[in-house]
Amino acid sequence: MKSKSELRVAIIGGGIGGAATAVALQREGIRADIYEQAPVIKEVGAGVGLRPPTVHFFKNWGIYEEIEKKSSKSDFMQVVACNGDVLVSERWPLLTDNPEGKWARLIHRADLIETFLNQLPSDSIHLSHRLESITDQGDHAEILFENGHSIEADLVIGADGIRSTIRSKLFSDTKPIYSGTHAYRAIVNDKEAFELVLDHTFKVFVDGGIQIYILPLHHRNQVSFDVTLQSKDPSWRPIVEKKDIVKHLKNFDTKIQKIAENVEEYTCRSIYDIDSIERWHSNCVTLLGDAAHAMLHHTGQGIQDAGVLAEALREADSIPEALQTFQARRKPVTDKYQELSRQEPSIESETAFPEKGHFEKA
């Protein structure tokens, strides 16, 4: 393998997975250039939960203190009936060997990605670069962007999301599968959340096929509000009016209905995932994050991919060996999460964490 300073590494996609990977590689002394199709890197307004296995990598990358300042510690998750009755109340499962690790940190997506990008040299982030074609030459790959720019890289990381061009050109013709649901998301000020969540408990309210996720972001004086509804419209960015969201929530606690009515603007997305694919990598190209294993919402795994890929590159004698190790360590885990993410919380749920039985440490 070339020396770390000589390696040419290109990451396609500047989402959570791509940006985390650039930080992880930088920590290993490897510069990676990010090529992002959008003219700005912007995350939708929504909260995410970070668990101890992810936080473990943040500590290694030297960014934990910054993340800690921008997030809140959450000890519990609840599944709640639409009338407010708590059906399940559970501590976050223990997913690392640290017995203290039964928690998650709740963060706004924009704060998370900003933290990653702040670590990187600005000249390593190339916006308005949409990958058009990729040619795998065995020991390197050639990439052409729509803007006419072309590059060669010893390692290409395809972090280009669920509709990955790299996946379809090199690895699999699998197509995203529509879940039959839309997610309508908004960030609401604490005082407009009617004291529905005063602590840091992540709550999912359920009524038949409807779920409402309320993820507190009290460090910002906000909560993340996410309504998941069934819909026959599979457009990626459906246009849905507020009244057509609110009308489905008549069975819910009146505070929830009020929150939903008061939201000024929802971000609307159809929810898709992919089936597990056989192979993520060649000798010089790998998929990562949603490009490799998109799952239904509220599960990701891209940051842990980033950490494991960086470790594999540190340990291996060659890039092909590192990519084999990466897939071997990650795929059994992400296959299971893909499968479990298809179990939506409901009134019958016996646990808020279907992954507990598979990944919880004794």
Q: Which of 297, 309, 322, 341 binds ligand FAD (CB under 6 A)?
A: 297
Under 8 Å between Cβ of 304 and 289: no
Is 167 a binding residue for ligand FAD by CB under 6 A? The answer is no
Q: Which of 131, 153, 155, 186 binds ligand FAD (CB under 6 A)?
A: 131
Residues 174-193 contacting ligand FAD, CB under 6 A: 183, 185
Query: Cβ of residue 117: shortest distance to ligand FAD, in angstroms?
Result: 12
**Which helix H or strand E contains 10, and what residues bound it?**
strand 9-12
Closer residue to ligand FAD (CB): 31 or 126: 126
> Alpha-carbon distance 306 to 18, whole Å?
8
Is 269 a binding residue for ligand FAD by CB under 6 A? The answer is yes
Compose the 144-163 pattern: x for residues touching ligand FAD by CB under 6 A, - for all others. ---------------xxx--
Residue among 47, 103, 18, 48 nearest 300 (CA): 48
Is 169 a binding residue for ligand FAD by CB under 6 A? The answer is no
Query: Cβ of residue 301: shortest distance to ligand FAD, in angstroms?
Result: 7
Query: Cβ of residue 108: shortest distance to ligand FAD, in angstroms?
Result: 11
Under 8 Å between Cβ of 56 and 198: no
Is 290 a binding residue for ligand FAD by CB under 6 A? The answer is yes
The pairing of strands 47-50 and 125-126 is unpaired
Query: Cβ of residue 54: shortest distance to ligand FAD, in angstroms?
Result: 8
Q: What is the phi/psi pair of residue 217, to 5°?
A: -125, 60
Q: Which of 14, 45, 176, 307 binds ligand FAD (CB under 6 A)?
A: 14
Residue among 304, 349, 322 nearest 203 (CA): 349
Q: How would you class 239 by CB atoms within 10 Å of its CB: exposed for 0-12, middle for 13-18, buried for 19 or more?
A: exposed
Compose the 270-289 pattern: x for residues touching ligand FAD by CB under 6 A, - for all others. -x-----------------x
CA 91 from centre of chain: 21
Tell me which stretch binds ligand FAD (CB under 6 A): 34-42, 147-155, 238-246, 344-352. Answer: 34-42
Query: Cβ of residue 296: shortest distance to ligand FAD, in angstroms?
Result: 8
Query: Cβ of residue 332: shortest distance to ligand FAD, in angstroms?
Result: 18
Query: Cβ of residue 75: shortest distance to ligand FAD, in angstroms?
Result: 17
Under 8 Å between Cβ of 169 and 160: no
Is 35 a binding residue for ligand FAD by CB under 6 A? The answer is yes
> Alpha-carbon distance 143 to 123, whole Å?
19
Residue among 1, 30, 14 nearest 288 (CA): 14
> Alpha-carbon distance 362 to 348, whole Å?
26
The pairing of strands 125-126 and 32-35 is parallel
Q: Which of 45, 49, 93, 345 binds ligand FAD (CB under 6 A)?
A: 49
Is 37 a binding residue for ligand FAD by CB under 6 A? The answer is yes
Q: How would you class 276 by CB atoms within 10 Å of its CB: exposed for 0-12, middle for 13-18, buried for 19 or more?
A: middle
The pairing of strands 76-81 and 202-207 is parallel
Closer residue to ligand FAD (CB): 19 or 249: 19
Residues of the shown chain interacting with ligand FAD in the complex, contacts defined by CB under 6 A: 12-18, 35-38, 46, 48-49, 129-131, 159-161, 165, 183, 185, 226, 269, 271, 289-291, 297-300, 302
